[in-house]
Amino acid sequence: MSISRNEARQVAHLARLEVDESDIDSITEELSAIIGFMAQLAEVDIEGVEPMTSVTPMRLSKRADVVASGGIRDRILATAPAVEQGFFTVPKVVE
Amino acid sequence: MELADLTIAEASRKLRTRNVTSVELTSACLEVIERASQLNAFCWQDADYALDQAREADRRLAKGDASGMCGIPIGVKDLFCVRGVPTQAASKILDGFRPEYDSTVTRNLQDRGAVVLGKLNMDEFAMGSSTEHSVYGPTVNPWRARNCDDQRTPGGSSGGSAAAVASDLCLGAIGTDTGGSIRQPAAFTGTVGIKPTYGRCSRWGIVAFASSLDQAGPMTKCVRDAAIMLRAMAGHDERDSTSSNRPVPDFEGALTGSVRGKVVAVPREYRVEGMPSEIEAMWKSGVEMMQDAGARIVDVSLPHTKYALPAYYVIAPAEASSNLARYDGVRYGYRSRLDSECGITDLYKRTRAKGFGAEVKRRIMIGTYVLSQGFYEAYYRRAQRIRTLIRGDFEAAFDDGVDCLLTPATPSAAFPLGAISESDPIKMYLNDVFTVTVNLAGLPGISVPVRLDSNGLPLGLQLIGRPWEEASLLNFAYVLERQAEFNQKPRKWWLQ
């Protein structure tokens, strides 16, 4: 099992990671090796086995549907890299 | 004996009888931390921050209502949010991040009077087995091989925690364990590390790696200290819906030192090909020690063991790729500089490319791949089914009356820094071969130092317990510790 250079480019794009074209070969090679390592999972008989979705058999507890916190805008914005007038700032999104 | 060399249990006794103050203990730790910069174990510390907590602890101790952790100086892995304290998960992408809130585990410890000395180095986002993948540079293991000055890894990802405890820079530390990140570094440094049952400690405020596998735990100089510290960390937290509301037992009180008649299983699949003879011999001696203590030894089969590592390397990166999507250059930490014509996608891509290290990017891409359309069933769903089978292997053993399992903690002793090259990630992943099964099955596991190998490097054994039975597991570990009589310390070559 291996992946192509185009697949590697596509995965990097989906993961929102900029990659240099000069690194594509080595990334393709590394990802192929790791995916090859996972290929042995294909030999396990999983017929009728439920996928594990919770490691400890427990019901997730629910809390009351009420506002538990709020009014902390400035504390949330305090750890952002760029803030203006009470908002996160980003490059122009809509032309 | 220096004050910083004390165990938590010893120090707690001295604090409560007023033979020492928390300010004295804390000052002693701060002094040795200052002199141990070569180890690169601490990535942030602040004397005033620590001493303020120590003075408050002394006031509580004077009033006489103090817990076992009150006044005890500890170190905190850089993965735990502590309000106002730099928290970077050893990543450039969280550069400058000082959280506005506390993790529940550090809050629990500080509420009980523990003194946070500072933050400890680790592999970036807890992804690694050597503490070499860190924006702060590698941590150095205080242990060196005989007649050899090579710098060795303390293991990872909680390598800073392990090195700090082994070199007596703090009395105890906290780490996290997603695939072995507490137990492997503990084994590499001659210290004790326990990963509790999934759900025992709240994950609130711990930078997330793989949410269905991550657990916090203590790393300490002895089993008794692990029992004291775990009790102070654990407990239900409504802010983590997977944290259990089971009562937290008195783990220290469970250390009876008797395992007579209990059943210890040796899983035959853990005898992996190419296992070094010294690891095999240590394992055998561990079996004899449990036998001498009156336990009954049985052989068990965990037939899906071989698939644990590849299943783990599907599930953990899949969850990581999702968890790490939040680092977008907008909400916290680092943002890359951009030209004026760049758009939002360029901002995401460049910030993440420059902010994450190579191993983190590799795992994000693997996770993205296995979750992508057309591959989800073949990888992620299949791995989740295999995870059910792996847990089933353990359940069958426990149903047959097994009380705990005994295995090596690691496939080797600590290796030299740089020995496992960046270009061979799978070789690094093999470090987790004995520990990942425990995370996949959600079980408690503990690493206990047993002996030095022929090069003078520590080796440890792992005990695996039934879910929620950390009290019994710690007692097994206590018995193993007493039988092994491991009391060596590294020579303090690093002090300047």
**Residue A34 to residue B362, Cβ atoms within 8 A:** yes
Q: Chain-wide mean pLDDT for chain B?
A: 96
Q: Is the ipTM of this complex over 0.85?
A: yes
For chain B, say whether A28 makes contact (Cβ under 8 Å): no
Instruction: Judge if B311 and B198 occupy the same domain.
Output: no
| For chain B, percent of residues with pLDDT exceeding 90 | 93
Same domain, B339 and B417: no
Q: Tell me the chain A residues in contact with residue B98 when contact means C-beta distances shorter than 8 Å.
A: 79
Helix or strand run (H / E) with residue B477? helix B470-484
Both B55 and B191 in a single domain?
yes
Measured between beta carbons, the chain A residues lying within 8 angstroms of B423 are 30
Is residue B221 in some structural domain?
A: yes
Same domain, B311 and B416: no
Most confident of B144-148, B162-166, B239-243: B162-166
**pLDDT of B258-312, one tens digit each?**
999 999 999 999 998 888 999 999 999 999 999 999 999 999 999 999 999 999 9
In a domain? residue B296? no
Residue B269 lies in a domain: no
Q: What is the pLDDT of residue A63?
A: 80
Query: How close A25 comes to chain B (CA, Å)?
Result: 13
| Residue B181 among the catalytic residues | yes
- B361 with B408, same domain? no
* Residue to test with chain A: of B214, B369, B468, most A Cβ within 10 A: B369
Q: Residue B393 has what pLDDT?
A: 98
Catalytic status, residue B157: yes
Asked if the structure places residue B267 within a domain, the reply is no
Name the active-site residue from B130, B161, B167, B181: B181
Assess whether B202 and B350 both reside in one domain.
no
Q: Could you tell me the CATH number of the domain that includes residue B52?
A: 3.90.1300.10
User: What is the band of B22 on the pLDDT scale with cuts at 50, 70, 90?
Assistant: very high
Contacts of A11 in chain B (CB under 8 A): 365, 368-369, 372
Residue B317 is assigned to a structural domain of this protein: yes
For residues B185 and B36, membership in a common domain is answered with yes
Q: What are phi and psi of B387, to 5 degrees?
A: -60, -40
**pLDDT tens, residue by residue, B457-494:** 999 999 999 999 999 999 999 999 999 999 999 999 99
pLDDT recorded at residue A61: 74
Provide the strand spans (E) within B81-236: 115-120, 172-177, 192-195, 215-220
User: How far apart (Å, rounded) are the C-alpha atoms in residues B69 and B109?
Assistant: 7
Q: Please give the structure tokens belonging to residue B119.
A: 């933050």
Partners of A52 on chain B (C-beta within 8 Å) are: 384-385, 387-388, 391
Nearest CB to B382 within list A46, A54, A60: A46
Contact call for B344 and A44, based on CB within 8 A: no
Phi/psi for B99 (5° steps) reads -60, 150
Do B368 and B244 share a structural domain? Answer: no
Substitution target in A50, A55, A77, A94 with the highest count of B β-carbons within 10 Å is A55
**Domain membership flag for residue B240:** yes
Preceding peptide of B157 cis, ω within 30° = yes
pLDDT of residue A53: 85
- Asked if the Cβ–Cβ distance from B387 to A52 is below 8 Å, we say yes
Q: Looking at this protein, which amino acid is placed at residue B27? A: S
The per-residue pLDDT for B368 is 97
Q: Give the pLDDT band of residue B425 (cuts 50, 70, 90).
A: confident
Are residues A42 and B382, on separate chains, in Cβ contact within 8 Å?
yes
- Split at pLDDT 50, 70, 90, the class of B53 is very high
- What pLDDT, on the 0 to 100 scale, is given for residue B337? 86
How does DSSP classify residue B206? B
Residues B371 and B416 in one domain: no
B335-381 pLDDT, tens digit each? 998 887 889 999 999 999 999 999 999 999 999 999 998 899 999 99
Q: List, for chain A, all residue ranges whose pLDDT scores fall below the cut of 50.
A: none
Of A31, A38, A92, the CB nearest to B314: A38
- Cβ(B464)–Cβ(B203) below 8 Å: no
B39/B144 same-domain check: yes
Q: What average pLDDT does the segment B63-79 reach?
A: 94
Residue B284 lies in a domain: no
B142-170 burial code (b ≥16 CB/10 A, e <16): bbbbeeeeeebbbbbbbbbbbbbbbbbbb
On whether any CB of chain B is under 8 Å from the CB of A1, the answer is no
What is the mean predicted confidence (pLDDT) over B30-40?
98
Q: Is the Cα dihedral B253, B256, B257, B261 positive or negative?
A: negative
Inform me whether the pLDDT recorded for B102 exceeds 70: yes
pTM (2 decimals)? 0.97
Number of domains forming the structure of chain B: 2
Provide the residue range defining the domain that includes B57.
3-261+404-484
Reported as a pLDDT band with limits 50, 70 and 90, residue B15 is very high
Q: Quick one: B355 and B221 in the same domain? A: no
Three-point CA angle B144, B123, B356, nearest 5°: 145
Query: Are residues B92 and B149 both part of a single domain?
Result: yes
What would the pLDDT profile of B131-148 be if each residue is shown by its tens digit? Answer: 999 999 999 999 999 989
Query: Which of A5, A16, A59 should we substitute to test contact with B (largest number of B Cβ atoms within 10 Å)?
Result: A16
pLDDT, residue A95, reads 65
Write down the pLDDT at residue B426. 81
How distant is the Cα of A92 from the closest Cα of chain B, in angstroms? 6
Residue B127 maps to a domain: yes
Residue of B nearest to A92 (CA): B343
Distances in Å between the alpha carbon of B257 and those of B65, B239, B471?
28, 36, 12
User: pLDDT grade, residue B423 (50/70/90)?
Assistant: low
Q: What is the pLDDT of residue B430?
A: 86
B230 CB contacts (<8 Å, ≥6 apart)? B194, B196, B200, B217, B218, B251, B470, B474
